[in-house]
Structure 1
Amino acid sequence: MRSFLAALAVILGLLLSAAAVPAIWVDRNIVQEDGFVALAAPLGKDPDFQKRLATAAVSSIDTGGTLPPQVAALVRPVLEKAATSLTGLPEYPAAWEETLRKSHRLNFADPASLPPEAESGTSLTLDVAPLVALAAKQISSQVGVPLEAPGQTLVNIGQTNQRQLIDRVSAYSPLGYSLAVGAGVAFLLALVTARRRWKVLAGIGVGALALSGLWTLASRSAADAVMGTASGNEMADLFKREFVAASAAGFASWTLAAAIVGAALAAAGVLARVVGGPARRR
């Protein structure tokens, strides 16, 4: 009976772990602002994405409404040049990070609080106002004419009808921590209940190895499914490709850690069996 209860506890712990680990990863790296910024920051180094993003930011600067026509005509060539030189400025990394932070707050905010310009059905909206402010500052210093940057400049790069997915992720990913606690309690109960604890260690280890493989397959399938959809927006597809690749690489480090822990537990169980067997016979 004790062995049966221990086996059930191990199975329960593995099932809870199967859901807990991906949920915790999503919460820490996507739902939480700092994690999202750390994950998406390298995207700003992609040359193609940099060029398209800078062009979108610079083109949003409205010189016609604030400058006389003759002055606006002089500023226009400077604007076109700024689109190619913006990413080379020392302030660009900080402006890109602030863009990510403002965009994260925008996308994970209550839909009722979104500005009218942001489509509530869009999966991801970038607020490139920090980049626009950087471009305006650069242009102003070159032409000697002050340009006022808008407080918010939105670039929709997601598909429609995906806002609900963001809401679900925000609501359910924090539950991963509770599931992880439940898994830990189940594993501890298995160790306390079992007659042969080495079997519990080995079982948890083998289960962790199996989960690592399943997580890897699921991650690849999810990435392929996302990459298989096209939004019709070139910049959106580029951002999606780079962000999915970064996410897959980030989660792969967690699955590798799970595999290492699983192998260690399995080896510990076998070692305990080898060492404990002769001791029991004596």
Structure 2
Amino acid sequence: MRFLAALLLWLLTTVALAAAVPALWAQATVVDEDGYASLAASAARDPRLQQAMASELATQAVTLAEDNGYSLNPRLVGQVADSYTHNEGFAGQFGQANRIAHRWMFTGAVPSGNSTDQWLIDVAPMLNDPSFDATLGSLDLRVPDTMTVPITVDSPELRPGKLRWLASWGPWISIGAAAVTVLLALLTVAAARSRGKALTALGVSALLVGAAGWAGIEVADRPLDAALDRTTGDIRTVAEVMVESAIDSLHHWLNVTIVAGVALVVLGAVAAGLGSVLRRGT
């Protein structure tokens, strides 16, 4: 009976851990605004994103000048933009620019002048960088406080605040999942006849969850491609790199889970061995 109770608790712990790891990752990396900005800043160190954003920023700068009756040399502006996206300050500014996209989706905050169902980033802070200011300032051009660029095409499926519920409940869901996992793990150890074997079993749970997570990411590859089809041109490249950075981040969490699993298996084996030696000695 005790064995069956321990087995049931172990199964429940494994299921809870499988929910807790992605929930905690999503809360820390995607749902949390600071976490999302940090993810964007990390993605901004990728040369592909830097090149794509340089092209997009050059286009926006030339368009801004034309709208105000000026003509800029696209090649010169492109060189300025390329130099800017390769400097140290770009990553942080790109992270800040993505905050408007995060607020649009998770809080429903709509930038002034946006009447479409599009996900946007704000490029105004980047165009206000001194490198661009030297180019645009010579024409007495003032970059607006907010200058948004669509990340996605117009879609009725995308609405401001669509994930507001996740922003509200995400922290509770992730903390609750983690708490339930810890509680079930402790109950599993308490119910097992051998503490060492229980620790080993919990390590196996972590290994299974880590491996299943890697497999799940591979399965999700096609739906992710379909989502990226909502973007075009340079912004698609930006979105692709952002998605890849998010996947790399999740891979890191899964790798930590696997390493923790290996540690628990080793610790459990050592504990079981010591327990066996002590029992023989008595």
Q: What TM-score do the two structures reach when normalised by structure 1?
A: 0.83
Could you say which residue in structure 2 is the equivalent of 1:7? 7
Q: 1:85 aligns with which of 48, 67, 80?
A: 80
Could you say which residue in structure 1 is the equivalent of 2:233? 234
Could you say which residue in structure 2 is the equivalent of 1:138? 134
Mapped to 2, the partners of 1:259 and 1:23 lie a distance apart of 17
Q: 1:9 to 1:118 in 2, by over 3 A?
A: farther
Deviations along 1:71-120, one digit per CA (max 9) or x if unpaired, are x2xxx124652233124145544533331234333433225x5544153x
Could you say which residue in structure 2 is the equivalent of 1:173? 170
Q: Give the 5 Å matches for 1:41-120.
A: 41-45=41-45, 46=48, 47-65=50-68, 72=70, 76-78=71-73, 81-89=76-84, 92-110=90-108, 113-117=110-114, 119=116
Deviations along 1:196-230, one digit per CA (max 9) or x if unpaired, are 22221111111110110001111222234212452
Identity %: 21
Mapped to 1, the partners of 2:269 and 2:132 lie a distance apart of 66
Residue identity opposite 2:183 in structure 1: V
The count of corresponding residues between Structure 1 and Structure 2 is 269
Could you say which residue in structure 2 is the equivalent of 1:270? 269
Structure 2 gaps, min length 5: none
Q: 1:110 to 1:88 in 2, by over 3 A?
A: same
Residue identity opposite 2:141 in structure 1: L
Could you say which residue in structure 1 is the equivalent of 2:28? 28
Q: 1:165 to 1:251 in 2, by over 3 A?
A: farther
Residue identity opposite 1:170 in structure 2: A
Could you say which residue in structure 1 is the equivalent of 2:188? 190
Structure 1 gaps, min length 5: none
Residue identity opposite 1:133 in structure 2: N
Mapped to 2, the partners of 1:114 and 1:4 lie a distance apart of 57
Q: 1:130 to 1:153 in 2, by over 3 A?
A: same
